[in-house]
């Protein structure tokens, strides 16, 4: 199962990295519903005094460019893998590849290096909350 | 403390839908489409089983992570830009394993203004997970041969080794 997961993520990463044409409903050529980037966590931020983590370092999966400083401020991060799968956070800001989230949705504890995520230009406030 | 954190993560990892979790399979399917329309990535993901496999117009997403990374964003774009009218639906299965078969009339416009008007066929398999049913398999296809051909041309370069059957 773990191997299958890794292969699946690898396939998806390859598709993004190599710019393969995508298929599926996306064969319908419509404008994006919102601006978004896919990314992968490369390092965890240091925990605060309570052991809570609110930042991580990341790389863009389709990495023609890095994240511009504070480009992601106010955007919504959704974790796509690992223990925090389907959890949402709100970006406080980013300094290049380091992304810091607000405490609104709680700490990031549980995320791991190599987890993938999508960051979207939409407020996290109205997004689904973990139950 | 560690136990509390672990429990919190387990609970959080089982779903993120803001609304009350749907209870019956067809509601789960409808909630998934609604989440895409509402640009609710986490809401859509929370309705998917962690063992999800997607067959989409000849393409394969072998894991829920691959689907979330590769195709869900585009499915969201399409959901926002088009109208999906449910035309037929059959449900079945028993116990914790259920299926929902639907056809939709999908209409709208491509970016270049050309019309979209096709029937999309959807097979969904669901498995009970606690109080709710979660989706373990999607299979989408279409009655439009031109669209099907375009989809398959587009995905011919995608890596698919991970889904080769065992020999």
Chain B residues near residue A126 by CB distance under 8 angstroms: 18
In whole angstroms, what is the distance from residue A92 CA to residue A70 CA? 8
Answer yes or no: do B159 and A8 touch at CB < 8 A.
no
Of A124 and A110, more confident: A110
Chain A residues near residue B166 by CB distance under 8 angstroms: none
A130, A41, A54: which is closest to A82 by C-alpha? Answer: A41
Q: Residue B15 region, left (φ>0) first, then alpha (ψ -120 to 50), else beta?
A: left
Neighbours of B111 (CB within 10 A): 11
Beta strands in B44-114 (DSSP E): 48-56, 59-61, 82-94, 97-109
In whole angstroms, what is the distance from residue A120 CA to residue A95 CA? 17
Chain A residues near residue B162 by CB distance under 8 angstroms: 4, 7-8, 11
- Residue B135: pLDDT band (50, 70, 90) is very high
pLDDT by residue (tens digit) across B31-58?
Answer: 999 999 999 999 999 999 999 999 988 8
Cα distances from A119 to residues A83, B11, B162, B164, in angstroms, run: 18, 23, 27, 32
Cα distances from B112 to residues A21, A31, B71, B116, B133, in angstroms, run: 18, 10, 21, 11, 39
- Residue matched to tokens 């059959």: B90
Task: Note the pLDDT of residue B162.
Answer: 33
- Residue B20: pLDDT band (50, 70, 90) is low
Mutate to test the interface with A, among B69, B106, B136 (most CBs of A within 10 A): B69
Chain A stretch 3-42, residues whose beta carbon is closer than 8 A to a beta carbon of chain B:
4-5, 7-9, 11-16, 20-34, 36, 38
Give yes or no for a contact between B106 and B118, defined as CB atoms under 8 angstroms apart: yes
A53 at B interface, C-beta within 8 A: no
What sign does the dihedral A131-B134-B65-B76 (CA atoms) show? negative
Answer yes or no: do B64 and A22 touch at CB < 8 A.
no
**Helical segments of B18-160, H only:** 25-37, 41-45, 64-70, 72-81, 145-154
pLDDT by residue (tens digit) across B51-98?
Answer: 999 998 888 999 999 999 989 999 999 999 999 999 999 999 999 999
Answer yes or no: do B155 and A22 touch at CB < 8 A.
yes
Chain B stretch 70-129, residues whose beta carbon is closer than 8 A to a beta carbon of chain A:
70-71, 73-82, 108-112, 116
In whole angstroms, what is the distance from residue B48 CA to residue B133 CA? 9
Strand-pair category, A55-60 with A88-95 = unpaired
Main-chain dihedrals φ then ψ at residue B52, nearest 5 degrees: -55, 140
Task: Note the pLDDT of residue B139.
Answer: 97
This prediction has a pTM of: 0.80
């Amino acid at each position: 199962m773990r191997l299958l997961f890794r292969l699946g993520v690898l396939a998806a990463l390859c598709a993004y990295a190599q710019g393969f044409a995508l298929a599926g409903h996306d064969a319908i050529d419509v404008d994006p519903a919102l601006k978004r980037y896919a990314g992968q966590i490369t390092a965890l931020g240091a925990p605060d005094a309570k052991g809570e983590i609110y930042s991580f370092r990341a790389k863009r999966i389709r990495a023609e460019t890095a994240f511009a400083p504070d480009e992601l401020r106010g955007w919504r991060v959704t974790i796509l893998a690992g223990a925090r799968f389907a959890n949402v956070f709100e970006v406080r800001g980013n300094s290049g590849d380091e992304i810091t989230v607000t405490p609104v949705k709680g700490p990031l504890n549980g995320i791991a290096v190599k987890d993938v995520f999508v960051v979207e230009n939409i407020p996290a406030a109205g997004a689904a909350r973990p139950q | 403390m560690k136990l509390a954190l672990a429990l919190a993560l387990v609970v959080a990892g089982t779903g993120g839908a803001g609304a009350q979790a749907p209870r019956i399979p067809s509601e789960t399917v409808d909630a998934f489409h609604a989440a895409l329309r509402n640009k609710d990535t986490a809401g859509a993901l929370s309705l998917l089983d962690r063992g999800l496999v997607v067959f989409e117009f000849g393409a394969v997403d072998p894991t829920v992570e691959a689907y979330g990374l590769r195709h869900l964003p585009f499915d969201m774009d399409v959901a926002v830009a088009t109208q999906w009218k449910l035309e037929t639906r059959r449900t079945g299965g028993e116990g914790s394993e259920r299926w929902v078969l639907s056809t939709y009339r999908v209409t709208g416009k491509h970016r270049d203004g050309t019309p979209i008007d096709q029937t999309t066929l959807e097979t969904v398999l669901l498995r009970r997970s606690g109080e709710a049913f979660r989706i373990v398999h999607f299979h989408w296809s279409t009655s439009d041969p031109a669209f099907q051909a375009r989809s398959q041309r587009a995905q011919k370069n995608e890596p698919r080794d991970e889904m080769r059957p065992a020999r």
